[in-house]
Amino acid sequence: MRFNRTILLTLALVLIQTSIVPWLVPYQWSDRLLPNLAFIMTVYVALFGGRHAAFLFGLGFGLLEDLLFYGHLMGSYGFGMALLGYLIGLVSERRPRTLAYTLLAIGVGSYLLDTIVYLVYRLFQLTDVTYGFAVYWQILPTLLLQLIIALVLYLPVRRRLLKSASVSGEENAA
């Protein structure tokens, strides 16, 4: 995995996520579709770069997002993305990196991340919506959008961000 390029690309994606995506989402959907592009990249790092790299990557970009969104408290994304980056890296250590598996990891991961963030805000009594409402209102629509974005990013990531030796797809990341 080419980490310098990945970090630069993810920084650009964070800027796009905060400044351009809000304009593209229709007004009625603006608090339902909240894609987290840095998290998608964290899952790619976990799959193609190993769990330790994904842990640091998720921690760094999670804390960056926390700082940029800082309203009530910070740390929820740092915690969630670091933990999920590590876990996804751990679980998928000896599995083939197919497209279907990548999408499954991103789907499950983004569901769990939004759940962790919800639980943190619930724990600190900063929100009083029920979990069922949060799932229906925000988590599922966001998950579907993230899957589409992950599909769009899949080819560029495999072509540009992986070293040519590991593109064959079947071997383990070191």
Partner 1 sequence: MRNKRLFILMIGLILFIAMLGFTSGRTGLSWPERFVNDAFGTVQGALYRPVGAVTEFFRDLGRLSDVYKENEQLRLTVAQYTQDKIRYNQLESENARLKDELGFTERQKQLYNYKYLIAQVVASSSNPYDKTIKINRGAHDGVKPKMAVQTVDGLVGIVSKVSEFTSTVMPITELDPTSSDRISISATVLGKEDQTFGIVDYDKERNMLQMSKIDENAPIKEGDLVITSGLVNVLPKGILIGTVVSTQVGDFGLTHTATIKPAAKFDHLTEVFVVVAPDVDAP
Give contact residues for partner 1 (rule: CB under 8 A). Answer: 15-24, 27, 30-31, 34-36, 64-65, 67-79, 82-83, 114, 117-118, 120-121, 124-129, 133-134, 138
Tell me how far, at minimum, the Cβ of 45 lies from partner 1, in Å: 18
Cα–Cα distance, 157 to 142 (Å, whole number): 21
Of residues 122 and 158, the one with the C-beta less far from partner 1: 122
3-state secondary structure string across the chain: CCHHHHHHHHHHHHHHHHHCHHHHCCHHHCCCCCCCHHHHHHHHHHHHHCHHHHHHHHHHHHHHHHHHCCCCCCCHHHHHHHHHHHHHHHHCCCCCCCHHHHHHHHHHHHHHHHHHHHHHHHHCCCCCCCHHHHHHHHHHHHHHHHHHHHHHHHHHHHHHHCCHHHHHCCCCCC
- Whose Cβ is closer to partner 1: residue 75's or residue 156's? 75
Please give the single-letter amino acid code of residue 14: V
Q: How far is the CB of 64 from partner 1 (least distance, A)?
A: 7
Distance in Å, CB of 18 to partner 1, minimum: 4
- Least Å distance, CB 68 to partner 1, is 6
Shortest Å, Cβ 23 to partner 1: 5
Nearer to partner 1, 61 or 162 (CB): 61
- Taking the least distance from each CB to partner 1, the nearer of 88 and 162 is 88
Residue closer to partner 1, measured from CB, 14 or 157: 14
